[in-house]
Amino acid sequence: MTPVKSPRPRRLQMLGTVSLPALLIGGIILILVGVNALSNYGPTSNRGGIEPEFGKSRVSGQLAFKIGREWSVQTWIAVTGVTFGLLSFGFAETYMHIFDAWCSRQAQRGNGLDYARYLNSQARAPVLYGLRGFPAFVTLRYTIVAMGIAASVGYKFAFVTPDIWVRENLDPDVVTFRRHRMSMITNDSSFSEPEPWISDFPLYDISRSFAHFYQYAQPSDGELEYSSDANTTLPPNMLVMVGHASCDHGETPDPPFTQKERGAIFTRELALIANGSVAEGTFNMTEDKGDWQRIEAPYSRFFYPPQKAIIEYRISEFAELQIQWAKAPNDTSGTWEVPVVHRSRYIMNAGMFSVKRYVGTQNCRNIAGAGGTGVIARAINNEPFENFLQKRNVIGSKKGLGRDYLNITKSMPEYNVWLEPLIKTRDTTLLAAVSAIVRAAMAAYKMDMWSTTYIEEDDMPCGEERDPYSDLYPGAKSPFYVGSRVGKYSGCYTTAAIVFIVLGCFAILVGIFRVWLGPPVLTSWMGQHVYLARTEAISLSEEMSSLASGYQVAKRDLGRIRLSTQKGEETGAMLKHDNGTDSEGQSTKERGEEAVEETGEVNGGITRVENVGLMDR
C-alpha cells in the first residue's frame, strides 16, 4: 500500500485530530492513576505487630493513592470515567483505521476488494452478525464493543477506601474535656460511669485522668507483691491528674472517628501534680485522731502477713496532703498508742504534659498504658504553686488561700464515706489505698482550680517545654492522631493499578502504531464513495438495485474496487464489475476518457482522478 503523500501535520490531521489525542491523553491518565497507587505500595505494612508506614494501606491487595487520597471515590470514578470514555472513542476509531488500511491494501492488489463484503462489514449494514462481510473484522468490532461495556462497568469497582495508617493534626474541638466532680458517678445524658478519681486504680488497664509513677525498691523483709515491676507495698512516688477527655460527639452526621478506627490521640495539657516524699521524724498514732481522717482496714494487705491496719490522712496546709498508716492495736476499746510505720507528704503543683489516649469505638477517654503510663512531662512549674495560680488568674490574691477559698479540709469527712469502700476491700494493697486518698484530694482541688481546655502552642505556663514526640512525629501539633482511618481516604486494588498501567501503555502504543500505519487510501467515509460515483468511476452490476431500500444486505457479485497508483501522480480509484460494463452497457474506459480532470478529498487528503483507465480483474 502506498500512503497518501502529505506534510506531517496534515498527515496527523488525516489520521484524526481527536482520536489520537484521546488515546494519548487517556493512556497517560491511566498510567498516572496506576503509578499513583503503586508508588504507595508497602509490602511490610500488613504484617502483624509492625506499625505500617504513614499513608499506606494496612489491607493486603489494596493501595492508597499517594497524591489525591483525600479525594472521594466518586471523584476518582469520574476521572477514570472520562478516561475510559476517551479510550473507548479512540479504540473505536482505531478499529476503523485498521479496517480501512486493510481494505486499502486489498483494493490495491490485482484482484481488488470485494465491494459487497466491504459494505456488509460496515457497522450500519443490515446484517445479523456480518458473516457476509469480513467475519474477522466484524468479530473484532464486537469484541471492542464488549470490552468497552465491561470496562465501563468494571472500573467502578476498582476503587476502594482502604484502611490507612495515618498521622493527622486534628481540630481542637475533636477532643472535649468533662469537668471533674467530687461525686461517685458522672451523670451525663448519654452515659453514666464512675468518676475518674473513683475508678482510676494504679496498675489498672483503664485510666481516664490519673497517671501513677511508682516506687520499685524492694522491701527488706516479707513477701514481695509485684505487678508490672511496680512494688505494691510502697506508696506511689507521684500522681498526675490530666483532663477527663472524650471524643464521643453523640449522633453527629460526621463523627471524628468511626467504629472500626483504632489508634491514639496525643494532647498537650496543663495537669495537676501530687509529688510524694517521706515525712521526717518519728510519729505515733493514738485513739484521739485530732484533725486526721481515719479509716480502719480489718484485713489489709498493707503488711505481710496481712493484718488489721489503720490509715489516716489530712490537709496539713494549702496544697499539702499527709498520709500515715500503722498496725492496729489488738484492743481499740480503750486508750492506745501505736507507732506510725510510714508517713508520706504529697505536695500539689502544676505541669505541662503530653497525654497519649487510646482511640476505639469512636472515643478517646482511656489513657494509654497500665495505670496511665501514657503521660509524659513536658515542663514542671518551678515557682511557688500560689504564684502560679495567681499568674494564671485562678486566684486573685494569696491572702486567705487554703482558708477562705480552695479549702478542701471541710469537705474531707464527706469524701471519707466514698474512700472507705475502696480501702477496706480485702484485695486493696497499700499502693491502691494511698492512691485513692491522693486522687480524692487532687479531684477536690482540681474542680475548683481550672478546667482542662486546649492551650495554644505559644502559651507555655510552665516555661520552655520539651516535646517527647517531636522526633517520632515531626510536624505534629496537639491534638494529633496516629492510627487507622477507615472510609476516609481513597485508593484502588493492586490488580486494578497494574491493569491501568498496562492498558494505558497499550493505548499509547496503539496511537504510535496508527501514526506509523499512516492514513489509508480508501476510507469508510461516505463522501469519498459519493465522489467516486459522481466521477462515474464506479461500475456496479444489476445487483445494486437491492441496496435501494437500505435494509437488505449487499449481494455477491456486486462489484470490486481496485486502487491503482500511477507514477508521478497521486492515487486514483475506480470500481469495476467483472464484465467491465455498467448496467447501460457503457464501458468504464469510455467513461474514463470522457471524464475531465477533477479533484477530491479522501479522508482529509486530496486525491486526483485523471485518465483513469480500465483495469481487468
Encode pLDDT of 375-390 as tens digits.
999 999 999 999 999 8
User: Do 428 and 532 have their domain in common?
Assistant: no
- Residues 235 and 319 both lie in one domain: yes
User: What domain range is 120 assigned to?
Assistant: 8-162+492-609
Q: Give a yes or no: residue 401 inside a domain.
A: yes
Measure the CA–CA gap between 404 and 392, rounded to whole angstroms. 19
Q: What is the pLDDT of residues 238-286, one digit of tens each?
A: 999 999 999 988 777 788 898 899 999 999 999 999 999 999 999 999 9
Classify residue 2: in a domain, yes or no. no
Regarding whether 414 and 378 lie in a shared domain, the answer is yes
Task: Kindly report, residue by residue over 75-119, the tens digit of the pLDDT.
Answer: 999 999 999 999 999 999 999 999 999 988 888 877 778 888 888
Q: Tell me, yes or no, whether 292 and 408 share the same domain.
A: yes
**pLDDT of 569 above 50:** no
DSSP code, position 10: H
Are residues 453 and 514 part of one domain? Answer: no
Q: Is residue 427 part of a domain?
A: yes
Residue 1 lies in a domain: no
239 and 363 in a single domain? The answer is yes
Alpha helices, DSSP H, located in 289-429: 385-391, 412-424
Is 102 or 560 the better-scoring residue by pLDDT?
102
Domain boundary among 462, 485, 508: 485
Segment 317-332 mean pLDDT: 90
175 inside domain: yes
Residue 176 is inside which H or E element, if any?
A: strand 176-178
Assess whether 404 and 540 both reside in one domain. Answer: no
- pLDDT at residue 607 above 50? no
Total number of domains in the chain: 2
**Residue 416 belongs to some domain of the structure:** yes
- Cell triple for 46: 500488613
Q: Work out the average pLDDT over 203-212.
A: 90
Looking at the fold, whether 145 and 247 belong to one and the same domain comes out as: no
Residues 434 and 562 in one domain: no
Predicted confidence at residue 610, as pLDDT, reads 34
From 430, 464, 485, the end of a domain falls on 485
Please report, for the chain, how many H helices and E strands are present, in that order.
12, 27
378 within domain boundaries = yes
The answer on 442 and 533 residing in a single domain is no
Domain boundary among 443, 464, 485: 485
- Burial grade of 616 (CB within 10 A; 0-12, 13-18, 19 or more): exposed
Its pTM stands at 0.73
The pLDDT value recorded for residue 251 is: 74
- Closest by alpha carbon to 563, among 172, 112, 123? 112
Instruction: Please give the pLDDT value at position 186.
Output: 66
* pLDDT at residue 599 greater than cutoff 70: no
Q: Which of 327, 329, 324, 328 is nearest to 342 (CA)?
A: 324
Cα dist from 56 to 63, 200, 486, 542, whole Å: 7, 36, 12, 71
The three three-digit cell numbers of residue 592, written as one number:
474514463
If asked whether residues 481 and 503 sit together in one domain, one would say no
CA–CA gap between residue 371 and residue 207 (Å, rounded): 6
Give the residue-averaged pLDDT of 577-597: 38
437 in the same domain as 317: yes
Q: What is the pLDDT of residues 487-522, one digit of tens each?
A: 889 999 999 999 999 999 999 999 999 989 888 888
User: Can you tell me the mean pLDDT for 402-412?
Assistant: 77
Does 605 reside within a domain?
A: yes
